[in-house]
Amino acid sequence: MITLKEALELDSQALQELRNDLKKKIKANKELNAYVGLEEAGEGVPIAIKDNIQVKDWSVTCASNILQGYKAPYNATVIEKMHQAGLGAYGRTNMDEFAMGSTTESSCYGKTLNPCDYERVPGGSSGGSAAAVAGGIAIAALGSDTGGSIRQPAAYCGVVGMKPTYGRVSRYGLGAYASSLDQIGPITQNVEDAAILYDIISGSDPKDSTNAQRDDKVVPNLDPNRKLTIGIVPSYVEEASEDVKKAYGKTVEVLKKMGHTIKEVSLLDAKYDISAYYITATAEATTNLARYDGIRYGNRAPAQNIKELYINTRSEGFGDEVKRRILLGNFVLSSGYYDAYYVKAQKVRHLIKEEYEKVFSEVDLILSPVAPSVAPKFGELATPMQMYLSDMYTISVNLAGLPALSLPVARNDEGLPIGLQLIAKPYDEQTLFDGALGLEAAL
């Protein structure tokens, strides 16, 4: 597939041919189930959009039954910024329901397949976006990352996925999962395309009160030759599978050869990340999902009275994982448990942030695994707990609000992609992309 950089050079006739060709390819790869709709908006370079980002007049369902029939009344800010830069929204990509999951199995449209191996999950929750780019049926895509949902599917499918600093990219028009963690970001074929798309969608927006209102760009200053100090986390890597460990070791050698300084650092045990994340994320999700009551949006179940209407609509509309999280979130916010769980989790979140600040006083970037293994087979993560544990390397980045980029670095003996992530200081996307661009070239 043509890259985003190349596509931006095309004239309107060539772009039209590209769109026609893309449509044929998507139809020929229907079994991947990467797309759940083929709407088009805007004329420019076609970019695939996760089903939780509003595009005016398109259906937007967060892969949930409860939102069937709902049409977006306005464009998300990222879509407006794309239009201004000559990109157009093209096609809806599959996802875990309300972005809750790590496999894209919880979608009401059925699972998406991993283009590298149809028996394996593409990762999640932005599994459709990653599978579309990896499967050669999207030039680039937008995903959202609350606890790894861009980086992890990118790693499982062998493409690049980038999560911006919290506040860099407007959340206006993004279906909220956990508002203090969510960020929209690019999934692309290479690092340069990720930088291009990141520059286009990031920047100030008066419509999002949590937006950082910063407009500095990375592409004009991209420098793959910078020599950096890169932190490695041996205690973290210990927990990963043998093939991930091997890829990590090899990548560290490459970084050394490139002239970077490697420094061993330590972070809090990942078990604290998991606990703090799943309390914070479910608490915020409970609040955000309260708006889906059968009255304001999408589906409404038949009922005799208002109470029945809420109960029937939510019982029919939400899937099991979403219900589980609503229950958990209500539990940790309930008066008897608020201090013991929610408040405690906020304190742990603060410690995680401080730990990163300490590390970043000594290094420019941190190299970490993205997931403990290559993409699992369908059904391999049998319990919700197993799935939550597989997020161990990605969620602290969201808790601390940092930018990170997942880069394919190797294939295991079975040919399955392995991704590692570089993590940077808040608002230091420049160093993140510089380091990633250099590493990509050296690999």
Q: Mind telling me the catalytic residues?
A: 50, 125, 149
Q: Which of 51, 145, 199, 434 binds ligand GLN (CB under 6 A)?
A: 145
Backbone phi and psi for residue 420, each to the nearest 5 degrees, phi listed first: -120, 160
Q: Distance between CA atoms of 313 and 69, rounded to whole angstroms?
A: 14
Instruction: Check residue 99 for interaction with ligand GLN (CB under 6 A).
Output: yes
Stretch that binds ligand GLN, among 79-87, 147-155, 246-254, 373-381 (CB under 6 A): 147-155
Half-sphere exposure of 162 (CA within 13 A, CB side): 32
In the complex with ligand GLN, the residue whose CB is nearer, 318 or 438, is 318
Please report how close the Cβ of residue 387 comes to ligand GLN at its closest, in angstroms: 7
158 closest CA partner among 419, 368, 371:
419
Q: Return the number of other C-beta atoms located less than 10 Å from residue 141's C-beta.
A: 29
Name which position in 177, 341, 342, 393 contacts ligand GLN (CB under 6 A): 177
Is the Cβ–Cβ distance between 133 and 188 less than 8 Å? yes
How crowded is residue 351: how many other Cβ atoms within 10 Å of its Cβ? 13
Judged by CB under 6 A, the stretch of 13-21, 130-138, 141-149, 260-268 that binds ligand GLN is 141-149
Query: Of 104, 107, 146, 190, which one interacts with ligand GLN (CB under 6 A)?
Result: 146
- Region from 3-11, 69-77, 99-107, 358-366 binding ligand GLN, contact rule CB under 6 A: 99-107
User: What are the structure tokens assigned to 59, written together?
Assistant: 């259906």
Select 63 or 87, whichever has its Cβ closest to ligand GLN: 63
Q: Which region among 60-68, 93-101, 114-122, 434-442 touches ligand GLN (by CB under 6 A)?
A: 93-101
Residues 197, 281, 289, 439: which binds ligand GLN (CB under 6 A)?
Answer: 281
Whose Cβ is closer to ligand GLN: residue 112's or residue 149's? 149
Taking a C-beta distance cutoff of 8 angstroms, is the pair 268, 352 a contact? yes
Which residue from 93, 102, 114, 183 is in contact with ligand GLN, where contact means CB under 6 A? 102
Nearer to ligand GLN, 83 or 324 (CB): 324
Q: Quick one: which of 149, 211, 251, 286 contacts ligand GLN (CB under 6 A)?
A: 149
Q: What is the 3-state secondary structure (H, E, C) of 230-247?
A: EEECHHHHCCCCHHHHHH
Question: Which whole-number Å values give the CA distances from 238 to 26, 100, 329, in the listed order?
Answer: 40, 27, 31
CA distance 400 to 165: 9
- How far is it between the farthest Cα atoms of the chain? 71
Binding part of the chain for ligand GLN, among 142-150, 165-173, 261-269, 304-312 by CB under 6 A, reads 142-150
Question: Does 88 participate in binding ligand GLN (rule CB under 6 A)?
Answer: no
d(CA 76, CA 56): 8
The footprint of ligand GLN on residues 202-241 (CB under 6 A) is none
Distance CA 189, CA 206 (A): 31
- Measured from the CB atom, the residue of 102 and 190 that comes closer to ligand GLN is 102
Instruction: Write down the least CB distance from residue 148 to ligand GLN, Å.
Output: 5
Closest CB 262 distance from ligand GLN, rounded Å: 29
Give how many residues touch ligand GLN by CB under 6 A.
13
Closest by CA position to 402, among listed 148, 172, 209 = 148
Among residues 146 and 406, whose Cβ is nearest to ligand GLN?
Answer: 146
The residue with its CB nearest to ligand GLN is: 149
Q: Of 24 and 377, which CB lies nearer to ligand GLN in the complex structure?
A: 377
Q: In 213-305, which ranges are continuous DSSP H helix?
A: 234-237, 242-257, 270-289
91 in the Ramachandran plot: left (φ > 0), alpha (ψ -120 to 50) or beta?
A: left
Cα–Cα distance for residue pair 391/88, rounded to 1 Å: 32
For residues 178 and 439, which CB has a smaller minimum distance to ligand GLN in the complex?
Answer: 178
By CB under 6 A, name the one of 88, 148, 403, 438 that touches ligand GLN. 148
C-alpha distance across the termini of the chain, in Å: 21
> Which one of 44, 91, 101, 329 is in contact with ligand GLN (CB under 6 A)?
101
Q: Which of 1, 49, 76, 100 binds ligand GLN (CB under 6 A)?
A: 100
Distance CA 420, CA 143 (A): 18
Site residues for ligand GLN, window 386-405 (CB under 6 A)?
391
Give residues in contact with ligand GLN (CB under 6 A): 99-102, 125, 145-149, 177, 281, 391
